[in-house]
Amino acid sequence: MSQQQSIYRKITHLTSSFDKLLKLQEKCPAVAVKLESIVAQLGRLEDAPWKALQHEQWAKLFDHLGPIKEKAKGLYERITADGYTSEEGDIVAVSKLADDLRDILLEYWMAQQQAIHDQNCRLIVTADLLVLNNCRRAKGAEYCHDDRRRCLKGTRDTVLSEIELWTKDFDKSPVFWLNGLAGTGKSTIAQTIAERLFAGDLLGASFFCSRDFEDRSNLRFILPTLAFQLAHKYPDFRSHFVSLLQMNPDVIDESPYSQMQKLIAEPLRITGVSTVIVIDALDECKDHEPSSAILSVLGRFVEQIPRVKFFITGRPEPRIETGFRLPLLVDSTEVFVLHNVHASLIDSDIRLFLKHELSELSQRRQLEGWPSDEHIDILCRRAGGLFVYAVATVKFLDSKAHLPRGRLGDILKLPGSTAFEGKTKFDQKKTTLNSLYMSILQAALDDEDPDTDSKARTIIGIIVLLVNPLPPTAIAELIGLDFEEIILILTLVQSLLVMSEDSSQPVKPFHKSFPDFITDSSRCTNSRFYISPEHLHCEIVTNCLRVMNDGLEQNLLSLPEYALNSEVKDLQSRIDKRVSRALQYACRSWHNHLTASRRDFTDVTTYLRTLLEENFLAWLEVLSVLGDLGGAVVGLDQLMSWLEEVSQDGSLLDTARDCFNFVTKFFEPINVSATHIYHSALELCPTSSIVRGLYYKRCRGDTCLPRVVVGAPDSWDQAVSFYNKDQYFSCIWSPCGRFIAAQTPITVEIRDQLTAELLTTLQPPEIGRELTGPLAYSPDGRSLACASDTSILIWDIQTGGVAGEICGGFKTVSMVWSLDGTTVGLIQDGGVVHRHDFTSDTTSSPGRFSDREALRLVAHEKSFQILVAPLFPHDSDSATVEVFEFGHTFTTVCSFHLWFDVDIAEANKDRRPMEVSYSPATLRFAFSFCGELRIFDDRNSCYMVESSSNSDLSPLLSPDGSLLAAVKDRGETLIWKYASGNWIQWKNIRSRDLHQITQFSPSKLSILCMHGATVRALRLDDIPSTPKISRLQRIGLSRSGSYIATAYESEATVTIIDLNSRAPPQLIDTCVKIEGLALTGNILLVLGSGKVVGWLLKEGGVVDKVFSDRKAGHGDSVWAISLPHLKVVPTFTVEGCVGIIALGTRFIYDTNTGDTLQPDQAPESRGYFWHSLGRTLCGRQYLALHDLSQCNARPEGGWQTTKDTVRDGWVKDPEGKHRLWLPVEWRASWDHRDWRRDIVTQFSIIAGGPVVVKF
């Protein structure tokens, strides 16, 4: 008989034996489940192809199967013998035999599956692997990391059997929630289930949440990590997933709803995969919403993937319980409550665990007769149903430096059950753990040495309070102690920690109950061990700042100039080599500890000052390469709050605020390139900036980096953030004021107003659905409504999914959520008013108004108020405005009688409608009509705020009626403040791209403005009003790049700047209303009032006489040519000749004599320029006409812009290096650029003046 035949025969016999035992034990469900699993696994062995099995593992397996086979045979023969009486002992024997065989088979199949998994990973093509490896995920979250323990053989049979039955029956509920209090063994059960699923080829992916790790407690990492694992296991899934990432890499950063839909549900539905996904400790995922975001999105998609099951564990915290009670999930979930399992079953499992673990310890330490059954009984009672107590006890007794007998004696001396009288069950369990932890600490630190106690508190405190765990080497660097001393103290308390012999692995508390105990003075009552979080956080932040100030330096990673982070191929190796784990932690997390300290220590402020004044830019470098620049924004924001509330250090606060402005203004380039902190951000920093003053000379010096020669801003502008998109239709603040929702025709973007970072994108449920706006946030900020072409969509902000829909097919022009969040008020195009009640899901229509009336809808208490004003007043000098409150009907609230100082009949001919705004809190009403802006209050008093018949004013009152903003005309925004009974002008902000003010922020410190492709949040606090300026109308740059000439709207003065000598600007009064100008060589040409006026420029800004036409009214230093219908000034001269295009005609003039050398016909167009063809006329070159697009669209010398500079803002050199990042306000005017060699000039939208950059 061959070896293969022999093996199959043994399997067949073993299968037969267990199949017979299964039939005999059907009356014992738990044993039957085990036996069914065994029979199924043996069947897999029979079906397994010989070549697919590793011979070494196969042989090892059958070394163990022989004894099992004989035991099974003997049990079967004894149970089926004549006169047999069923005995409980035989059932136990069968169960134990099944456990033994299952563990043997589990190890075998796990090894086999791991080999198959590794082989599949090796077969992944390189291109796919690159895409997968770039997928953001939480490393180490899988079940096979961190040395997690499985359930001891023979324990937790009831719950494990029930879960196993659920995993194999796809007709059962798709979701299983293992619900249990802290310490009841949820994670151990999850680990066991994950291993068994993996061995059975059913585990698709797993995520073990942990509050010890920042990424494993971030809900945004859960779904991408699961998708990453699924892609490695299932080739069809991988194909779909990789294609998705290639088409849309940003899908990883989208909302949980989009992540669940695109990364999990759609690929699983398309591929038809049958699998189980495990998520452990969901309660440890940071999520401050009323219900878990993961559970919310799971409920929306679980029915779409019926062949996929989700096994989830978590404490019964309110948000977890609420999540599982959601209507979409409650009927799809099976729940098992661990802490409701009968106490005798739990005690039996704990007893078995203690007996097994302590027996092994006794054998290792040669302790005969230890422990006794009485000892086990006492420990079991002390555990009180908490497995964590049993585990901590075993770890405490298993100390190599102490005798187990003595340590057991210490535990037995602890108070017994009488200590629990009068306490609740939960309090009793906490008291049990308190006593155990206290005993462990006293035994570990028994010398009562103050110095040792202090170091132990610091080390233990570091471990329990760190945002992310660190290895001993990093802990030693962070707190400034010797590594050997760290290891010594860690060894003393190792029974309370998870440690590895590898000192590069992080140290963590062995269970979450230990940090809860040692940081609670009511539980840890011994001052030797109690850790004051506030005090220790201050110590940690001091150490973090010290490590940063000692270890940071400019270009720490020696990055090449102009490189984007993604272009540095060995970036990770540079980080590993130059940025220690302690320095990484300090850079990322110092601010978390500062906020938690809430105390002002001299050392802290000293270190903070050093960080900001000497190492700020180097800190940003590290965060940029680590991909965590957002941490700088959060950190500086927290620092400013801490300085205001705790330290009150004014100068340091000013520096922190300037640093904050620096990061938020230049977040975009710094986020992708650490080197552009110096190449772009520092160069574009305002000249008055504290950051520029501290770092510019030191960090840029005389380097050949791009420089702003003219036009550098002198102060931070009011804009907190800029957004750029094809077109925005509406935008609003979130109720908390931290986020902005901006609506495009097909999506709604949710952005952080501090950084402009896109946080999530909300999409309609169907492709092709058009969003028409407006937007409306619910009062709690958890929902957002937006009108589409067919209905009102309501998104859940937490998950990004559509949570509801108001149908009706009407076009909405105004929408407001009631203050209690139960209803939405709508105004339809045509004046129809609707009210939708969410509690009854009904829509009513109280009435309608004329489409010739201006309507403003606002929320008021539990109902709405609507202001009704005539859109076009009747032919009289007055009008009436009414305010109605409406629920199911309309009720008059108040009315305002308006009068006008303009001719109504003439105004109505121009069809200039009335603009209105209303504040229900103060019953104040503002209106604008034909340049008049007035405010009425509840006493019907009238305040004339502004009167300007040349401008249409669009008013906006703040919700409390204390501020009024109005866009006067393009580029000017006026803001008034109500104080002491009067309205006073507070701000005058000028910017060319402010056309519409949509909303005041909830704090009234910012306003939200929108113009086409730009949305801006303008900060009003602590920033002076922009001085009144004229808009730059004309700009010219000489061919050599030596001179720049500028002229402003409605002015006659030209400013000449010599870029070489940097002499003071020269002002030339042209005596004409300037319509155009050009610098041709060293000749300045100005067009205006039907004339061309010219000057000859010399070095240093000297203006020389060229030609004088005294009849034209100019002085001796200019020449002028009078031409009818002059249209365009040329851009080139040749040997003293100037080409000029008049209406349909081109002329060539000699600048010395003024003679006409060549008249000819020319197209009537601005889009042309003169170009030399080398032909000669009268001894001079002939100038012909060519298309302007051939000249000015591309700079000389190979300089280039990116495909769309207006979008990504990068200017590249001939080698393709990213030389300079352009702010959004510069990009908006990029079409006005003009290159001369390596100098570029363009309009500046905000400042209104020219910008000249030398590369």
Please name each of the domains of the chain with its CATH number: 3-119 (1.20.5), 125-341 (3.40.50.300), 342-414 (no CATH), 534-705 (no CATH), 1032-1192 (2.130.10.10)
- Using 50, 70 and 90 to split pLDDT, how confident is the model at 158? confident
- Using 50, 70 and 90 to split pLDDT, how confident is the model at 902? low
Q: pLDDT value at position 1022? A: 52
Q: With contact defined as beta carbons under 8 Å apart, do 742 and 1092 qualify?
A: no
Q: pLDDT value at position 142? A: 92
* Angle, helix 630-642 to helix 616-626, in steps of 10 degrees: 140
| Lowest-pLDDT choice from 530-534, 768-772, 1022-1026 | 1022-1026
Indicate the burial class of 1006 (C-beta count within 10 angstroms; 0-12, 13-18, 19 or more): buried
| Lowest-pLDDT choice from 400-404, 474-478, 783-787, 869-873 | 869-873
Query: Is the confidence at residue 460, as pLDDT, over 90?
Result: yes
| Lowest-pLDDT choice from 804-813, 885-894, 1242-1251 | 1242-1251
Give tens-digit pLDDT for 678-722.
Answer: 999 999 999 899 999 999 988 876 667 788 877 778 888 766 656
Give Cα separations from 453 to 441, 442, 1178 (angstroms). Answer: 10, 11, 101
Question: What residues have CB less than 8 Å from 1161, skipping those under 6 apart?
Answer: 1144, 1145, 1146
Beta strands (DSSP E) in 763-886 are 771-777, 783-788, 791-796, 802-807, 812-817, 823-828, 832-837, 842-848, 853-860, 863-870, 878-886
- How many C-beta atoms surround the C-beta of residue 258 within 10 A? 23
- What is the distance between the alpha carbons of residues 762 and 817, in angstroms, rounded to a whole number? 19
| Lowest-pLDDT choice from 500-509, 551-560, 567-576, 1043-1052 | 1043-1052
Give Cα separations from 50 to 42, 53, 56, 104 (angstroms). Answer: 14, 6, 12, 19
3-class SS at 468? coil
Give tens-digit pLDDT for 507-548.
Answer: 988 888 889 899 999 989 998 999 999 999 999 999 999 999
**How high does pLDDT run on average in the chain?**
77
Ranges 780-789, 923-932, 934-943, 961-970, most confident: 780-789
Q: pLDDT value at position 233? A: 92
CA-closest candidate to residue 358, choices 327, 396, 386, 321: 396
Strand partners, 1086: 1077, 1093
Query: Is the confidence at residue 861, as pLDDT, over 80?
Result: no
| Lowest-pLDDT choice from 45-59, 880-894, 1205-1219 | 45-59
Q: pLDDT value at position 956? A: 87
Query: Is the confidence at residue 984, as pLDDT, over 70?
Result: yes
Q: pLDDT value at position 843? A: 86
Q: With contact defined as beta carbons under 8 Å apart, do 163 and 336 qualify?
A: yes
Q: With contact defined as beta carbons under 8 Å apart, do 539 and 458 qualify?
A: yes
| Lowest-pLDDT choice from 211-225, 401-415, 957-971, 1095-1109 | 1095-1109
- What is the distance between the alpha carbons of residues 312 and 163, in angstroms, rounded to a whole number? 11
% pLDDT > 70, the chain: 73
Q: Where are the alpha helices (DSSP H) in 552-649?
A: 571-578, 581-597, 602-614, 616-626, 630-642
- What is the distance between the alpha carbons of residues 347 and 354, in angstroms, rounded to a whole number? 10
| Lowest-pLDDT choice from 336-350, 797-811, 1016-1030 | 1016-1030
Average pLDDT for 607-616: 96
Query: Is the confidence at residue 1108, as pLDDT, over 60?
Result: no
- What is the distance between the alpha carbons of residues 892 and 107, in angstroms, rounded to a whole number? 78
Q: pLDDT value at position 842? A: 87
- φ/ψ region of 581 (left if φ > 0, alpha if ψ in -120 to 50, else beta) reads alpha
Query: Is the confidence at residue 154, as pLDDT, over 90?
Result: no
More confident site: 436 or 1247: 436
Give tens-digit pLDDT for 986-1015.
Answer: 877 766 555 677 888 888 778 887 776 677
Q: pLDDT value at position 46? A: 62
- What is the distance between the alpha carbons of residues 776 and 732, in angstroms, rounded to a whole number? 8
* pTM score above 0.85: no
Question: What residues have CB less than 8 Å from 602, skipping those under 6 apart?
Answer: none
The percent of the chain in helix, strand and coil, each rounded to the nearest 5, is 40, 25, 35
C-alpha 1180 chain-centroid distance: 65
3-class SS at 658? helix
Query: Is the confidence at residue 983, as pLDDT, over 50?
Result: yes
Question: H/E element holding 219?
Answer: helix 219-233
Give tens-digit pLDDT for 275-285.
Answer: 999 999 998 88
Average pLDDT for 455-462: 92
Average pLDDT for 32-39: 68
Average pLDDT for 433-450: 83
Q: pLDDT value at position 1038? A: 63
Ranges 49-63, 883-897, 929-943, most confident: 883-897
Query: Is the confidence at residue 972, as pLDDT, over 80?
Result: no
The DSSP code for 286 is B
Query: Is the confidence at residue 1141, as pLDDT, over 50?
Result: no
Q: With contact defined as beta carbons under 8 Å apart, do 1125 and 1143 qualify?
A: yes
**Torsions phi, psi for 1182 (to 5 deg):** -80, 135
Query: Is the confidence at residue 317, as pLDDT, over 50?
Result: yes
Query: Is the confidence at residue 1159, as pLDDT, over 60?
Result: no
Please name the amino acid found at residue 1040.
Answer: S
- How many C-beta atoms surround the C-beta of residue 712 within 10 A? 18
Q: pLDDT value at position 784? A: 92
% pLDDT > 90, the chain: 21
The DSSP code for 579 is S
Q: pLDDT value at position 1136? A: 44
- What is the distance between the alpha carbons of residues 776 and 774, in angstroms, rounded to a whole number? 7
- What is the distance between the alpha carbons of residues 155 and 338, in angstroms, rounded to a whole number? 13
More confident site: 1029 or 543: 543
Contacts 24+ apart (CB under 8 A), 1049-1056: 1052/1088, 1054/1084, 1054/1086, 1056/1084, 1056/1097, 1056/1101, 1056/1103
Q: pLDDT value at position 145? A: 82
Q: pLDDT value at position 1180? A: 34
Which is it for the CA torsion 75, 79, 81, 84, positive or negative?
positive
Strand duo 175-179 + 308-314: pairing: parallel
Name the token pair of 132.
């997968």
Q: With contact defined as beta carbons under 8 Å apart, do 445 and 399 qualify?
A: no
Give tens-digit pLDDT for 577-587.
Answer: 999 999 999 99
Give tens-digit pLDDT for 201-233.
Answer: 999 999 999 888 888 888 889 999 999 999 999
| Lowest-pLDDT choice from 57-71, 651-665, 690-704, 878-892 | 57-71
